[in-house]
């Protein structure tokens, strides 16, 4: 209601037009938006919206603020979180008297600063000056499998590996693995699978329906590698860079007919008896609609809770729960070596006379392939491969640890068009922002690695591993 001094509001409609610069930085489901009014005219009542690939408004977006007025020369930064399961979003602004100009990437952008000279401004090209050295290990001679470390690069096909290999100067830790096979990933009821069915086949040794987590096509709870290891008296662990209640980690110890039931999937960890749990998704643990605080429930069961990278190494106790973000973890440039450090801690805590089973997922290889951003995808794959390097060195010393590296599916329809090994650069093309049905690799190292040679159904990969758990 107008106050006395401003009974006539016609001045609002006659404000001079101005331009607002908008810079958007996406990190999984989280977006940071900076608006800058560099003119000498007020930018009045600007409304921010998040829209999907079809330019439809995304509902239930959590904004820190999305209704802004900017004074001349003023800048404001706001944040929003998309609902779980959302695809990539476009942030738009409707202004009373302001048009929007998208800011060009610069060297101060988060897209660049995390990797110094690395240029993320192009989605279809990538190069980097600094590469990392890989480990050199020899295949153990023994045949006894005491431990299994099962590593999943979500969305990681031969194409993604080939691109990363070039950018790292023609070397990856995967090069050490003496056995290479291939896996067909289709689901029971759909040729192009999702992470639910793809992960379930690897976890259980049985194909299932698209969208099913830990359930067979008839809706029955399936046995898994992790559960069998528990029955054999082994310790178990899961470490990922996505939400713990996301499809792949949940496939190994939980079950659901739909991945959207995230609160229920998170709650199942309380009774899972998994010894080491590390990932994201804090929102579903202590900001729940049922009022439960799963963190407190886990602590009551003897779990040490950690929510920061720097606290992982010093954590004590027999059971570990690490949750480092409200939803998925940030990209590797922002989160740091969480996957590597949590893997080190997991092996330290799980190693015992009876053995252990550990599932490690490079979850965000898939996320950035969905977004068709080759630079971020490569960095997530490098994070996964550096973690593999540590695993291989440990497994080579141990001599009784089988290491399997594979993927639940392939993402992005990626093609490596050209590049330069000496310059560590690539040029690529994506044909889709979804999954595709191309076979994915199966690498193996350690005792019984040769069992994974050849072309397999994804369920067969799980079956081979399960038979070795004794």
pLDDT digits (tens, 9 = 90+) for 1-60: 444 454 454 455 566 888 888 888 877 788 889 899 888 888 888 899 998 877 789 988
Alpha carbon distance, N-terminus to C-terminus of the chain: 75
Classify residue 369 by its DSSP letter: H
**Which segment of 54-68, 184-198, 244-258, 328-342 scores lowest on mean pLDDT?**
54-68
When the pLDDT of each residue in the chain is averaged and rounded to a whole number, the result is: 90
Classify residue 407 by its DSSP letter: -
Print the domain residue range for 228.
121-467
pLDDT value, residue 4: 47
Whether residue 419 is contained in a domain is answered as yes
% of residues, the chain, pLDDT over 70:
93
> Residue range 92-106: average pLDDT?
73
Q: Say which CATH number the domain at 427 has.
A: 3.40.720.10
Q: Do 128 and 43 have their domain in common?
A: no
Q: Do 126 and 203 have their domain in common?
A: yes
> Residue range 220-244: average pLDDT?
97
pLDDT value, residue 115: 36
CB–CB of 390/448 below 8 Å? no
pLDDT value, residue 108: 28
CB–CB of 394/446 below 8 Å? no
Q: Which of 63-77, 87-101, 409-423 has the highest mean pLDDT?
A: 409-423
> Residue range 283-303: average pLDDT?
95
Write the secondary structure of 432-453 as one string of H (helix), E (strand) and C (coil). CCCEECCCEEEEEECCCHHHHC
Domain boundary among 102, 135, 154: 102
Q: Do 197 and 273 have their domain in common?
A: yes
Q: Do 49 and 140 have their domain in common?
A: no
Q: Do 335 and 417 have their domain in common?
A: yes
Whether residue 4 is contained in a domain is answered as no
pLDDT at 142 over 60: yes
Q: Which of 36, 127, 195, 342 is catalytic?
A: 195
Whether residue 340 is contained in a domain is answered as yes
pLDDT at 169 over 90: yes
DSSP result, 146-189 = -EEEEEEETT--HHHHHHHHHHTTS--GGGG-SEEEEEE---SS
Domain boundary among 74, 102, 130: 102
pLDDT value, residue 73: 86
Q: Do 256 and 381 have their domain in common?
A: yes
CA distance 386 to 380: 10
Q: Do 164 and 287 have their domain in common?
A: yes
Domain boundary among 69, 102, 135: 102
SS3 399: coil
Whether residue 9 is contained in a domain is answered as no
pLDDT value, residue 119: 56
Query: Catalytic: 195?
Result: yes
pLDDT value, residue 423: 93
Q: Do 273 and 181 have their domain in common?
A: yes
Q: Say which CATH number the domain at 70 has.
A: 2.60.40.10
pLDDT at 114 over 60: no
Q: Do 90 and 127 have their domain in common?
A: no
pLDDT value, residue 106: 37
pLDDT value, residue 109: 32
Helix, strand, coil % over all residues of the chain, rounded to 5 = 30, 30, 40
Of the candidates 230, 224, 227, 231, the residue with the CA atom closest to the CA atom of residue 201: 224
pLDDT value, residue 26: 78
Whether residue 7 is contained in a domain is answered as no
Whether residue 114 is contained in a domain is answered as no
DSSP result, 57-69 = BPSS-EES--EEE
Q: How confident is the model at residue 458 (pLDDT cuts 50, 70, 90)?
A: very high
Question: What's the structural domain count of the chain?
Answer: 2
Q: Do 92 and 143 have their domain in common?
A: no
pLDDT at 245 over 70: yes
**Which segment of 110-124, 248-262, 339-353, 379-393 scores lowest on mean pLDDT?**
110-124
Q: Do 178 and 287 have their domain in common?
A: yes
Whether residue 11 is contained in a domain is answered as no
Largest separation between any pair of C-alpha atoms in the chain: 89
Q: How confident is the model at residue 118 (pLDDT cuts 50, 70, 90)?
A: low
pLDDT value, residue 421: 95
pLDDT at 455 over 90: yes
Whether residue 213 is contained in a domain is answered as yes
CB–CB of 327/30 below 8 Å? yes
If you compute the radius of gyration of the chain from its CA atoms, what whole number of angstroms results? 24
Q: How confident is the model at residue 363 (pLDDT cuts 50, 70, 90)?
A: very high
pLDDT value, residue 116: 34
pLDDT value, residue 181: 98
SS3 110: helix
pLDDT value, residue 259: 86
Q: H or E segment at 202?
A: helix 195-204
**Which segment of 16-30, 172-186, 260-274, 414-428 scores lowest on mean pLDDT?**
16-30
Q: Do 305 and 372 have their domain in common?
A: yes
Q: Please report, to the nearest 10 degrees, the dihedral formed by the alpha carbons of residues 348, 350, 354, 356 taken in order.
A: -120
**Which segment of 48-57, 155-164, 217-226 scores lowest on mean pLDDT?**
48-57
Of the candidates 372, 358, 362, 275, the residue with the CA atom closest to the CA atom of residue 322: 275
């Amino acid at each position: 209601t107008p106050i006395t001094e401003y009974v006539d509001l016609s001045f609002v409609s006659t404000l001079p037009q101005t331009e607002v610069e908008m810079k958007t930085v996406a990190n999984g489901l989280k977006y940071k938006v900076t608006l800058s009014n560099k003119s000498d005219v007020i930018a009045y009542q600007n409304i921010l919206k998040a829209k999907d690939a079809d330019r439809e408004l995304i509902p239930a977006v959590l904004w820190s603020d999305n209704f802004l007025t900017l004074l001349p020369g003023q800048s404001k930064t706001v944040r929003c979180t998309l609902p779980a399961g959302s695809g990539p979003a476009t942030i738009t602004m409707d202004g009373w008297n302001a048009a929007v100009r998208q800011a060009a990437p610069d060297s101060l952008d988060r897209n660049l600063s995390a990797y110094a000279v690395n240029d993320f401004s192009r989605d279809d090209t990538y190069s980097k000056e600094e590469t990392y050295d890989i480990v050199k290990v020899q295949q153990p001679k023994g045949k006894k499998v005491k431990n299994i470390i099962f590593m999943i690069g979500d969305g990681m096909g031969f194409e993604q590996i080939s691109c990363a290999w070039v950018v790292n100067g023609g070397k990856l830790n995967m090069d050490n693995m003496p056995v290479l096979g291939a896996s067909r990933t289709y689901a029971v009821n759909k040729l192009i699978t999702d992470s639910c069915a793809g992960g379930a086949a690897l976890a259980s040794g049985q194909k299932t329906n698209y969208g099913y987590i830990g359930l067979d096509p008839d809706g029955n709870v399936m046995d898994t590698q992790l559960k069998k290891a528990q029955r054999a008296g082994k310790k178990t662990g899961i470490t990922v860079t996505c939400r713990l209640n996301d499809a792949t980690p949940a496939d190994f110890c939980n079950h659901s007919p739909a991945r959207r039931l995230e609160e229920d999937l998170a709650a199942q960890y309380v009774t899972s008896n998994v010894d080491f749990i590390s990932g994201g998704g804090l929102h579903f643990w202590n900001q729940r609609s049922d009022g439960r605080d799963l963190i407190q429930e886990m602590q009551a069961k003897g779990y040490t809770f950690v929510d920061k990278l720097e606290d992982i190494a010093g954590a004590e106790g027999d059971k570990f729960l690490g949750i480092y973000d409200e939803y998925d973890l940030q990209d590797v440039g922002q989160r740091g070596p969480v996957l590597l450090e949590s893997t080190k801690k997991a092996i330290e805590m799980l190693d015992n006379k009876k053995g252990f089973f550990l599932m490690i997922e490079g979850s965000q290889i898939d996320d950035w392939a969905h977004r068709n951003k080759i630079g971020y995808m490569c960095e997530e794959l490098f994070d996964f491969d550096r973690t593999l390097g540590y695993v291989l060195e440990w497994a080579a010393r141990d001599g009784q640890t089988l290491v399997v590296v594979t993927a639940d599916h392939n993402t992005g329809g990626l093609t490596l068009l050209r590049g330069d090994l000496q310059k560590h650069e690539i040029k690529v093309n994506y044909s889709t922002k979804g999954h595709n049905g191309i076979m994915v690799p199966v690498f193996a190292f350690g005792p019984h690695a040769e069992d994974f040679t050849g072309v397999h159904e994804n369920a067969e990969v799980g079956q081979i591993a399960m038979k070795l758990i004794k």
